[in-house]
Amino acid sequence: MVASWALYAGIDWSENLQDLAVVDRTGQLVASTRFEATPAGIREMLKVLSGLRASNGFSRKSVPIAIEASRGLLVAALQQHGQPVVPIHPATAARYRGRINPGNRKKSDAQDCLLLANILRTDGHLHRALHRSSDHANAIGALTRAQLRAVRTRQYHYLQLRAQLRQVHPTAVQAWATMDHRLLRPEAREIIALAPTSSTAARLTRRQIRAALERGGRTRLLDAETERLYELFREPVLRNPPTLEGALGQGVLSTLHFINAACQNVEEMTDAATGLFLQHPQSEIYLSFPGVGPLTGARLVGELGDDPARFPNGKGLASYAGARPFTWASGSSRTVLHRRISANKFLATYGHHWAFATLTKSAECRAYYDRRRGAGDRHNAALRRLFAKLLSSLHYCLRNDVEFDAAAAWPRAPGGGAATA
C-alpha cells in the first residue's frame, strides 16, 4: 500500500508525449510538464520532481507516481531511477473520472494525469506500489509470456489446418486423432507435407510413408505404423474435383508452413525460458513441489517475481492468483464467488494446470482434492482450493528459503490420516 506522502504524481502516457501532474495533500496542482519517453525526457521530468521542495529532507524518490501501466519502457525507466510506481487499472481510472463528473465523457491527457495523482492522494492506501523483482525474474516473465503467445499462435494455426483437412483430406484428421499432439506430431506434419490431399495420400508408397515417419523422428514400430497409414489412406472417401482439390491442397501446405514455424518458436521459447529459470536462485524451491517442472516453475517465477516483500502472507498471494474466494453480499443475499477480474489471469491458468498435475504426483494432494469433492466442491473449485494450499506452502518456502516438505505441508491427524483443511 502507498504510504502517506506529502506530494503525489500522475503520468498519462501515450505513444509520443507523456503528461505529468503533481499535487499536494490538499489537491492543489504544484507542478505539471509534458515530456518525451526518451532518456533526455526522463531526466527533465525527474528534474521537475527534484525541484518541488527546498528542504534538505525532501527527495524526489518520496513522490509516488500513478500510471495506467505495469510494464513497458517508461515504467522500467522510472523504476531504474528509484521512483515509486503505482499501477492503476484503466477501468479504475474510468470509474474515478465518472465519480467526479458523471455526465462528462471527454478525455484529456492533462486532466487524466491530474486524476491519477488525486487517486493516490485520496485512496493511496488502497493501491499497491509496483514490486521490484530482479532483472533475472523479469526476463523469465518476458520469455514465459512470449512462449505462451507462441503456443496460442500454434493452436490457432492447428485449428485452421484441421478445418482445411476436413475439406480436402479427412483421413489425415483421423489418422493421429488418438495420439498425443495429433496433427502437431512431427511425423504427421511430414506426411501431410508430402500428401496434403486425399488423392496424393492414396498414391503414397510404403517406402515414402516410412521415410516420412523417419524424418519425423519416429523410431518405434515403424513397419506397423507404415502399414496402418498405407491401408488407411487407401480407404474410399469423398473427394473434390481434381482442380479444386489441388487448390485446397496448396492452402493446406501454406497453413502447414505457419505451423512448422510456430512449433519451432514454441520449442525455442520453451528452451530459453526453462534454461533461464534453472539458473534462478529459487529454482530448486519451485522444483521441489509436486507437479512443478521447469516450464511450470518458469511461469510461476515470471508472474510472481522474486521480491520477498511483495506478498506479506500466503492469503495475499492466493488472492492475487485468483485461488481465494470473495463474498458478494447485498441486502439479504450473500454469495461466495471465485475471483476473475481482480486476479492475475495468467497465474490462475497456470495454477489450474499445476493443481491438476499434482493429482497423479502427490498422494497428499490427491487426498485433499478427494476430500473437497466429498464436501460438495465441483472439480474446478476443488482445484482452486488445492492451488491455494500449494501457494501457501510456496510462500512459506520462499520466505524461509527451504524446499517443499510434504510432511510439514500436509500434517497427519491423530488417527493417522492427513489433516483436513
pLDDT digits (tens, 9 = 90+) for 22-36: 998 888 998 899 998
CA-to-CA distance for 298 and 275, rounded, in angstroms? 9
When pLDDT is averaged across residues 301-326 and rounded to a whole number, the result is: 85
Cross-strand pairs, 11: 20, 67
Q: Is 103 exposed, middle or buried (0-12, 13-18, 19+ CB in 10 A)?
A: exposed
Mean pLDDT of the chain: 87
pLDDT, position 102: 66
- Is the model's pLDDT at 326 over the cut of 70? no
The pTM of the whole model exceeds 0.85: no
Distance of CA 213 to the CA centre of its chain: 35
345, pLDDT greater than 50: yes
CA 366 to chain centroid = 25
Per-residue pLDDT, 167: 93
- 350-385 residue pLDDT tens: 999 999 999 999 999 999 999 999 999 899 989 999
CB-count exposure of residue 109 (10 Å: 0-12, 13-18, 19+)? middle
CA angle 178, 179, 185 (to 5 degrees): 135
Query: For residues 212 and 192, is the Cβ–Cβ distance under 8 A?
Result: no
Please tell me the predicted confidence (pLDDT) of residue 319.
85
Q: How many CA atoms lie within 13 A of 357 on its CB side?
A: 15
C-alpha cell at 342: 481482480
Question: Where exactly are the structural domains of the chain?
Answer: 7-130, 139-276, 284-409
* pLDDT value, residue 328: 66
Residue 315 is given by DSSP the state H
Q: Calculate mean pLDDT across residues 338-360.
A: 85
CA distance 391 to 29: 43
Res 78 pLDDT > 80: yes
Bridge-based pairing state of the strands 325-330 and 29-36: unpaired
Q: Note the pLDDT tens digit of each residue in 242-264.
A: 999 999 999 999 999 999 999 99
**Residue from 71, 68, 87, 82 nearest 129 by CA:** 87
pLDDT of residue 419: 53
330 Cβ neighbours under 8 A, 6+ residues apart: none
Task: Say whether pLDDT at 169 is over 90.
Answer: yes
SS (HEC) of 407-420: HHHCCECCCCCECC
Angle of helix 222-233 relative to helix 206-215, nearest 10 degrees, comes to 120
Does domain 7-130 fall under CATH 3.30.420.10? My reply is yes
Tell me if 35 sits within 8 A of 50, measured CB to CB. Answer: no
* pLDDT value at 347 more than 80: yes
Question: What nine digits make up the cell of 193?
Answer: 507435407
Largest Cα separation within the chain, whole Å, is: 88
Tell me if residue 280 falls in helix, strand or coil: coil
Those residues whose C-beta lies under 8 Å from the C-beta of residue 379, and which sit 6 or more positions away, are 373
Dist. CA 315–CA 318, nearest whole Å: 5
Range 257-266 contact pairs with CB under 8 angstroms and sequence separation of 24 or more: 258/157, 258/160, 259/154, 259/157, 259/158, 259/161, 259/184, 259/189, 260/189, 262/150, 262/153, 262/154, 262/157, 263/154, 263/184, 263/189, 265/150, 265/153, 265/154, 266/147, 266/150, 266/151, 266/154
Q: What is the pLDDT of residues 93-134, one digit of tens each?
A: 888 877 766 665 666 667 888 989 999 998 888 888 888 888
**Residue 2 pLDDT class (50, 70, 90 cuts):** low
Identify the band that residue 415 occupies on the pLDDT scale cut at 50, 70 and 90. very low
Distances from the Cα of 217 to the Cα of 222, 271, 332, angstroms: 10, 19, 63
Q: What is the pLDDT of residue 336?
A: 63
Mean pLDDT of 65-92: 89
- pLDDT(413) > 50: no
Whether 177 shows a pLDDT value over 70: the answer reads yes
CB 317 within 8 A of CB 393: no
pLDDT of residue 414: 45
Phi/psi class of residue 139: alpha, beta or left (left: φ > 0; alpha: ψ in -120 to 50)? alpha
pLDDT at 55 over 80: no
Residue pair 252/197 in contact by the 8 Å Cβ criterion: yes
**How many helices and strands, by DSSP H and E, does the chain display?**
18, 7
CA distances in angstroms from 112 to 8, 24, 119, listed in the order given: 14, 16, 10
